[in-house]
Amino acid sequence: MKDLYRLLPEEMEQMIIDMGQPRYRADQILYPLYYKFPKNISEIRQLPTMMRDKLAEEGYVIGSATEVHRVVSEDGDTTKLLLNLADGTPVETVLIQYPPSKINGHPRSTICVSTQVGCAMGCTFCATGQMGFERNIKAEEIVAQVIHFAELLEKRGQHVTNLVFMGMGEPLVNYDETIRAVRLLTHPRGFGIGQRNITISTIGIISGIDKLAEEDLQIGLAISLHAPNDKLRQKLVPTAGPHSVDDLIAAGKRYFKKTGRRVTFEYALIEGVNDSPEIAKELSLLLDGNGSHVNLIPLNPTAGDFHRPSKRSVLEFERILNIAGVNCTVRVEKGTEISAACGQLRTDVLG
Ligand code: SAH
Ligand code: SF4
């Protein structure tokens, strides 16, 4: 089975030409795929019946995701879905909305996609990490997650404005499929979202960060740091190498130098583990003069023994970084009551 959502516009054209058809037919497929959301090839009315039959005969299909479970936060701003991929594999995808801006009346609508089923990195505080690794998610399956929400938003007169690779899995371990998904979703003849509206989050796959810097893509990078020294970091990220903290800071600098895009460091704050004022000072010394941004994420408690720090200690941690001149924000917690941390919903629903 060959999924039409896998093909980049140039590949779609080649496929059409190989079928002995005129090149312009590619756009007669691409436009409906990204704007009309057909579930079957027979629904692509722009195409002559003969072409639709031919595509089906050649084994082409339209892969879509099916909603199996939905949770919405009390304020309605966060919607978390458990979606079955075309082969029935359940994955999590989240929509996070921010209030409408006064300028165009549209909310910022960020989709958070999964790139792997489970994750082999085994981070001790992460529900996905505790599942182990099942399989990589293909580019067309990442696209299907976005398309599912695009259709849902369209019904409300809204659209997808931002995309973050922060769901289940480590995107830079599934490098080729992640980049193909980025290219499909940013192509002006594909989904057409701006590269600058995309962020990839990584636990720190150095080779992947360096490769990404060479891609000629203007996407944002977030590095999940979680600790200012290797000893503490290895407790949280058991797969991290012995020099991972220094290596990550250096990789972040290289990414910035090459792309001009500032790197964000993510830091999950865990009570009594990495949230003390001393550790905040150590972190500020590490990042001082780096021009980088820190995103503090108060922990979404998962099944493990880790807890979220009090609001007071979160603010104190933030204050110490800010005083030291390190640019820092606390992630607005929107999804806690709906298990919005990656991997939690799948665990809640499927056990
Ligand atoms: N594998 C990538 C992207 C997916 S995780 C990475 O680790 O960066 C996206 C973000 O969610 C990461 O910063 C991760 O540390 C954070 N995260 C995972 N579990 C969490 C939890 N229980 N509470 C708060 N943040 C969590
Ligand atoms: Fe994987 Fe990211 Fe979870 Fe670590 S935090 S286990 S890298 S998904």
- Catalytic residue, chosen from 92, 140, 177, 266, is 92
Query: Of the bound ligands, which one is closest to the alpha carbon of residue 222?
Result: 1
Taking the domain 2-61, which CATH number applies?
Answer: 1.10.150.530
- Distance (Å, whole) CA 75 – CA 24: 45
Which of ligand 2's atoms lies nearest the C-alpha of 127? 3
Q: Which of 195-204, 289-298, 342-351 has the highest average model confidence (pLDDT)?
A: 195-204
Which of ligand 1's atoms lies nearest the C-alpha of 222? 8
**Nearby residues of 219 by Cβ (< 8 Å), 6 or more positions away:** 182, 195, 196, 198, 199, 200, 212, 261
The pLDDT tens digits for 104-132 are 778 999 999 999 999 999 999 999 999 99
User: Does residue 112 carry a catalytic annotation?
Assistant: no
User: Does residue 337 carry a catalytic annotation?
Assistant: no
* Nearest protein CA to atom 4 of ligand 2, as residue: 123
Give distance in angstroms: CA of 336 to centre of ligand 1: 13
Query: With a 6 A CB cut-off, is 344 part of the ligand 2 pocket?
Result: no
Residue 146 burial by Cβ neighbours in a 10 Å radius (0-12, 13-18, 19+): buried
Binding residue per annotation — 300? Answer: yes
Q: Which of 276, 201, 231, 273 is nearest to 284 (CA)?
A: 276
* Nearest protein CA to atom 16 of ligand 1, as residue: 268
Q: Which two tokens stand for residue 127?
A: 């529900």
Q: With bands split at pLDDT 50, 70 and 90, how would you rate the model's confidence at 350? A: low
- Distance (Å, whole) CA 64 – CA 5: 9
The pLDDT tens digits for 4-16 are 999 999 999 999 9
Give distance in angstroms: CA of 246 to centre of ligand 2: 19
* Nearest protein CA to atom 6 of ligand 2, as residue: 129
Query: With a 6 A CB cut-off, is 32 part of the ligand 2 pocket?
Result: no
Q: Which two tokens stand for residue 130?
A: 């505790």
Output the pLDDT for position 323. 93
Looking at residue 309, the DSSP 8-state letter turns out to be P
The pLDDT tens digits for 40-59 are 999 999 999 999 999 999 99
- What are the backbone angles phi and psi of residue 69, rounded to the nearest 5°? -160, 140
Give distance in angstroms: CA of 71 to centre of ligand 1: 19
Query: With a 6 A CB cut-off, is 128 part of the ligand 2 pocket?
Result: yes
Q: Does domain 66-350 have CATH number 3.20.20.70?
A: yes
Q: Which two tokens stand for residue 345?
A: 């919903």
Cα–Cα distance list, 177 to 88, 184, 260 (Å): 19, 10, 24
Q: With bands split at pLDDT 50, 70 and 90, how would you rate the model's confidence at 191? A: very high
So where are the chain's domains? Answer: 2-61, 66-350
Query: With a 6 A CB cut-off, is 62 part of the ligand 1 pocket?
Result: no
pTM listed for this prediction: 0.95
